[in-house]
């Protein structure tokens, strides 16, 4: 997976989550699809930390959907592991955000994902621009799509 470039100072947000029985297969290894749930929790808490809660955003006309996701599995998480799940915005467009996400056990990388989120209108499910306050909050830390095109 090609790693997105991160502007110096782009903050990473992280939460710690415990791997429960429900997250694992019969061998005590975290089931691959459950990493998506952990990534979702970290993104939701990241937005909440920035002051943007999902229900009010949806009510105002913005809901996020996963448009594209690339994952790289390095090592498995195991039953009862305490893992660190991060979300770091790396690319900002008018109607989308790309977030680099990682699951780590201490300093050991377990899974890495590049997640592209599209902002859509909850009623029509058609793309819509990011709310101005969110876009303004992110643009100082994240490369914009136009900056990426200029470098290409």
Q: Which residues are catalytic?
A: 25
Distance between CA atoms of residues 107 and 24, nearest Å: 21
How crowded is residue 127: how many other Cβ atoms within 10 Å of its Cβ? Answer: 15
Question: Which residues make Cβ contacts (< 8 Å) with residue 112, sequence separation at least 6?
Answer: 1, 71, 72, 74, 100, 101, 102, 103
Say which residues have a Cβ less than 8 Å from residue 144's Cβ, sequence separation at least 6. 91, 92, 93
């Amino acid at each position: 997976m090609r790693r997105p470039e991160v502007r110096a100072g782009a903050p990473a947000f992280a939460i710690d989550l415990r791997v429960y029985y429900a997250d694992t297969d019969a061998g005590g290894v975290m089931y691959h699809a459950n990493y998506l749930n952990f990534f979702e929790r970290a993104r939701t808490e990241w937005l909440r930390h920035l002051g943007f809660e999902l229900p009010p955003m949806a009510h105002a006309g913005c809901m996020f959907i996963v448009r594209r996701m690339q994952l790289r599995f390095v090592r498995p998480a195991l039953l009862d592991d305490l893992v660190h799940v991060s979300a770091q915005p790396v690319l900002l467009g008018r109607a989308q955000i790309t977030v680099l996400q990682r699951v780590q056990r201490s300093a050991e990388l377990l899974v890495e994902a590049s997640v592209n989120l599209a902002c859509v209108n909850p009623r029509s499910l058609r793309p819509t621009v990011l709310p101005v306050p969110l876009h303004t909050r992110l643009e100082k830390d994240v490369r914009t799509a136009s900056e990426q095109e200029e470098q290409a």
